[in-house]
Homo-oligomer: A and B are copies of this chain.
Amino acid sequence: MTDRTRLRDLTGPEIAARAANEVLFLPLGSIEQHGPHLPVDTDTHIAERFAEAVCARVGGLVAPGYAYGSRSRPISGGGERFPGTVSLSAATHSALVSDLVVNYARHGHRRIVLVNGHFENTAPAVEGVDLALERGADARVSMVNWWEVIGADTLDRIFAGDFPGWEAEHAGIVETSLMMHLDPGRVHADAISPTTVAITPPPYTVLPERPGLVDPSGVLRTAHGSSAAIGEAIFEGAVEAIAAVVRAEFGAAGGVER
Binding site for B on A (CB under 8 A): 1-2, 7-16, 19, 31, 33-41, 44, 63-64, 66-68, 70-71, 73, 80, 82-92, 94-96, 98-100, 103-104, 107-108, 120, 122-124, 126-127, 129-131, 133-135, 140-145, 148-149, 185-186, 188, 191, 202-208, 210, 218, 245, 248-249, 258
Contact = CB atoms under 8 A, between A and B. Distances in A.
A10 B40 contact: yes
A89 B97 CA distance: 11
A15 B84 contact: yes
A79 to B, nearest CB: 11
Contacts of A63: 31, 86
Q: How many copies does the complex hold?
A: 6
Contact of A68 (B38, B66, B202, B203): B66
A99 B96 CA distance: 12
A41 B7 CA distance: 9
A40 B66 contact: no
A86 B104 contact: yes
Given A127-B71, A130-B207, A207-B133, A35 B8 contact: no
Contacts of A1: 185-186
A85 B10 CA distance: 11
Nearest to A208: B133
A207 B87 contact: no
Nearest to A206: B142
B107 A83 contact: yes
A42 to B, nearest CB: 9
A205 B123 contact: no
A92 B83 contact: no
A127 B135 CA distance: 16
B31 A11 contact: no
B205 A142 contact: yes
A119 to B, nearest CB: 10
Contacts of A92: 92, 95-96, 98-99
Given A86-B104, A107-B83, A142-B206, A39 B10 contact: yes
Nearest to A2: B186
Given A39-B8, A91-B94, A127-B89, A83 B34 contact: no
A185 B2 contact: yes
